[in-house]
Amino acid sequence: MIITGKYPNLRLRRNRKSDWIRRLVQENTLSCNDLILPLFLIDGKNKKESIKSMAGVYRYTVDKLPLILDKAVKHKIPMIALFPYTNKKFKNSLGSEALNENNLVCRSIRLIKKKYKDKIGIMCDVALDPYTDHGHDGLLQNKEILNDESIEILAKQALLQAEMGCDVIAPSDMMDGRILKIRKTLDKNNFKKVQILSYAAKYASSFYGPFRDAVGSKKALKGDKKTYQMDYSNNEEALREVALDIKEGADMVMVKPGMPYLDVIRIVKNNFKIPVIAYQVSGEYSLIMNGINKGLINKEAIYETLISFKRAGANAIVTYFADKVAEKLSSN
Ligand code: PBG
């Protein structure tokens, strides 16, 4: 039994009576080591461009990345995640810009590795949606997203990222078999140390709206992603996805979105002894930010949400709050 006494001998409020005791009995904490910072990239020079649907988040040109990376490194954020806003003229039905070694992501990896070496990890999304004119993560044929043909290209995209110096390959496409295909391709090319963080339980969610705006795939997207991303009614299926990806070679797994899926984080953590990463996605970020900016909730709500991921069992959180929170945490 969890309760080992009763009122009036037992008064749980005693352990809440002041700040020092609350700190002493605190069960979960948040540190800079828990944070992964997503960054949006844009072509051009000398630009830091605001994103309408994501107050306080920016797109950076490659030369301006040090603006934010200096801070991330200073505050010991362990890893960043790169997402490109691809100019329409580079998009086509095959997403071939994904395989261009001078695309935004590749140029950014080279700059970051040159300037920061191993001071910060780089994680890259593997999916075609920033590069396809139809906005899907894989190849589209007769209204269908092809699986086996898509993973051929995704493996090439992953290999290119590894060649550029990416540390952690993060397939977010939800095609079947892509982790095995990517692991084999990496190993064959002697990238045995490059990790795979699989977006294993990724749901077809309405909370990705602002992200699609940030990478410019919103208007492009034809239809929805329900034939490859998961149905949000399911959690047993999440366990099957995770089990499969671990067998195929994933080093870490992601649950995404975050807050509406804390139960999924918990069951994955209980069932598999593997690092679990939560993604507090763009829609969650923007709702919270709007609430704060409108005075509906206060800023501490940010910590409340981030700690909820730790409570649920996540090892780390991808969050657009990472830079702001890390700055605050290191000044405490
Ligand atoms: C692309 C991808 C998406 C996100 C991360 N990688 C969008 C999508 O699947 O449509 C969403 C991130 C966010 O909303 O913050 N495969």
pLDDT one-digit tens code per residue, 190-225: 999 999 999 999 999 999 999 999 998 888 898 999
pLDDT one-digit tens code per residue, 114-156: 999 999 999 999 999 999 999 999 999 999 999 999 999 999 9
Residue 174 has pLDDT above 90, yes or no: yes
Count of domains in the chain? 1
Q: Is the CB of 211 under 6 A from ligand 1?
A: yes
> 286 C-alpha to center of ligand 1: Å?
14
pLDDT one-digit tens code per residue, 256-282: 999 999 999 999 999 999 999 999 999
311 is written with which tokens? 């409570």
Average pLDDT, the chain: 97
Q: Which of 91, 181, 256, 310 is catalytic?
A: 256
**Could you tell me what percent of the chain has a pLDDT over 70?**
100
Q: Are 69 and 37 in contact (CB under 8 A)?
A: no
What pLDDT sits at residue 1?
65
In a domain, 4, yes or no: no
CATH of the domain at 205: 3.20.20.70
Assign 327 a pLDDT band (cuts: 50, 70, 90). Answer: very high
Q: Are 323 and 72 in contact (CB under 8 A)?
A: yes
In a domain, 7, yes or no: no
Active site residue 256: yes
Q: Is the CB of 150 under 6 A from ligand 1?
A: no
Amino acid at 142: N
pTM confidence score: 0.97
Q: List phi, psi (to 5°) of 197.
A: -105, 105
The average pLDDT across 293-312 equals 98
In a domain, 21, yes or no: no
Give residue 120's domain range. Answer: 31-331
99 is written with which tokens? 């395989």
Residue 254 has pLDDT above 90, yes or no: yes
Q: Are 215 and 86 in contact (CB under 8 A)?
A: yes
Active site residue 202: yes
In a domain, 143, yes or no: yes
In a domain, 22, yes or no: no
In a domain, 12, yes or no: no
Pick the closest to residue 203 from 227, 230, 224 (CA basis). 230
What is the spatial distance between Cα 67 and Cα 47, in angstroms, rounded to a whole number?
Answer: 11
Q: Is the CB of 319 under 6 A from ligand 1?
A: no
In a domain, 227, yes or no: yes
In a domain, 6, yes or no: no
Residue 3 has pLDDT above 80, yes or no: no
Sign for the pseudo-dihedral over CA of 239, 202, 289, 31 = positive
